[in-house]
């Protein structure tokens, strides 16, 4: 399983880096359309209940998600004013709470009562609905959806160009740090609850509660507008670090208290979800948005690959609580770098 997920993650990373070439060749709207279709096609592979179908479904899903994520970010940057990024992103994140909390519950309900066809069929239905909505606005002469123009640049050159720009490197680190928290929270939070004897239900409730907190993105959006993105994100990172350190310190001695600290960390991480992408959107040059957006999105792939690798080494010497302490150190570093180098004008 670990090998399979690693291979899929690496292939997804490759697809992400080549996405600007696809956007230039086929136009942005067709890449968006292909992304939605790949989600639906992936569901068809999953229902085969075979190893080959699982692999094909995972590949379709990661490619579709990459296409949708990158093209959506391009549309946002093209048609939302920079001064409105914080408000728009915080609202988008807050409303996604319904999908993050309702999606897993709906999937499990459909799978338990109607079988795997119903569970994955729902994914296909939502993908088709998304595609229909997209083309409805396109055919309705909505000027906010237009093909993007990009320069033909080699993917490796894109990486070099991205790394050469300090603000883009900082934006990537901010996104990587908060994504590492969610990877840890979703995997090691429930695992911690099970190992300490709290049961599967406690682990599921922990994840659901963390997802439900996404609606607080509206609050963080207002805080960012009131106090500035730099101060808010720095505060969020240091507060997250304190919560994770407390969770790791308490550990198995009081599992429910540890869970409460993890939820506290999730609350502050949502500030970074709501505001973090603005650091990239305000820094990237308009003529290379597609290329840089593709490289920027690699934070997601690296945040899924790096933490388990690091934790596997840490857990050889320490208990499960050391996972949260290790992440606490990363959050503190990200907070310091954000405070030191993020412009005050953000």
Q: How far apart are CA 91 and CA 332, in angstroms?
A: 27
Contact 337, 230 (CB under 8 A): no
Token reading at 261:
């600290």
Q: What is the pTM of this model?
A: 0.80
Of the candidates 217, 226, 222, 192, the residue with the CA atom closest to the CA atom of residue 207: 192
The backbone region for 62, taken as left when phi is positive above 0, alpha when psi lies in -120 to 50, beta otherwise, is: alpha
Q: How far apart are CA 223 and CA 94, in angstroms?
A: 14
Flag whether pLDDT at 147 surpasses 80.
Answer: no
Token reading at 157:
């050159």
Of the candidates 322, 306, 168, 167, the residue with the CA atom closest to the CA atom of residue 250: 322
Of the candidates 213, 146, 172, the residue with the CA atom closest to the CA atom of residue 16: 172
What pLDDT shows up at residue 152? Answer: 47
Residues 163-210: tens digit of each pLDDT: 999 999 999 999 999 999 999 998 889 888 888 888 777 887 888 889
Q: Chain-wide mean pLDDT for the chain?
A: 86
**Is the pLDDT higher at 246 or at 302?**
246
Token reading at 17:
């880096």
Q: How far apart are CA 321 and CA 327, in angstroms?
A: 10
Residues 88-112: tens digit of each pLDDT: 888 888 888 888 888 877 887 888 8
Token reading at 43:
């569901």
Domains annotated on the chain, with CATH: 2-143+154-341 (1.20.1250.20)
Q: How far apart are CA 217 and CA 215, in angstroms?
A: 5
pLDDT band per the 50, 70, 90 thresholds, residue 1? low
Does an H or E element contain 244, and which? helix 229-250
Residues 207-262: tens digit of each pLDDT: 888 988 988 888 998 898 889 889 999 999 999 999 999 999 998 889 999 999 99
């Amino acid at each position: 399983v670990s090998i399979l997920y690693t291979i899929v993650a690496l292939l997804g990373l490759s697809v992400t880096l080549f996405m600007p070439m696809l956007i230039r060749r086929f136009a942005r709207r067709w890449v968006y359309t292909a992304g939605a279709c790949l989600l639906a096609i992936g569901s068809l592979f999953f229902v085969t209940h075979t190893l080959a179908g699982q692999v094909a479904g995972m590949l379709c899903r990661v490619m579709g998600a990459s296409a949708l994520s990158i093209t959506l970010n391009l549309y946002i940057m093209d048609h939302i004013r920079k001064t409105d990024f914080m408000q728009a992103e915080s609202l988008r994140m807050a409303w996604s709470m319904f999908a993050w909390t309702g999606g897993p519950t709906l999937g499990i309900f459909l799978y338990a009562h109607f079988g795997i066809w119903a569970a994955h069929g729902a994914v296909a239905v939502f993908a088709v609905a998304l595609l229909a909505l997209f083309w409805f606005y396109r055919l309705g002469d909505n000027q906010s959806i237009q093909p993007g123009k990009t320069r033909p640049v080699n993917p490796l050159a894109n990486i070099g160009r991205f790394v050469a720009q300090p603000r883009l490197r900082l934006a990537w680190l901010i996104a990587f740090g908060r994504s590492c928290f969610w990877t840890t929270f979703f995997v090691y939070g429930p695992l911690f609850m099970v190992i300490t004897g709290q049961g599967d239900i406690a682990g599921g409730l922990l994840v659901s509660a963390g997802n439900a907190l996404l609606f607080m993105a509206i609050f963080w959006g207002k805080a960012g507008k009131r106090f500035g993105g730099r101060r808010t994100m720095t505060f969020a990172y240091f507060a997250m670090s304190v919560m994770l350190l407390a969770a790791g310190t308490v550990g198995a001695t009081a599992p429910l208290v540890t869970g409460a600290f993890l939820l506290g960390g999730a609350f502050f991480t949502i500030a970074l979800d709501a505001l973090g992408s603005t650091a990239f959107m305000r820094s990237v040059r308009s003529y290379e948005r597609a290329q840089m957006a593709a490289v920027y999105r690699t934070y997601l792939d690296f945040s899924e690959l790096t933490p388990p690798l690091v934790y596997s080494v840490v857990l050889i010497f320490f208990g499960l609580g050391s996972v949260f302490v290790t992440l606490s150190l990363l959050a503190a570093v990200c907070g310091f770098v954000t405070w030191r180098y993020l412009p005050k004008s953000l």
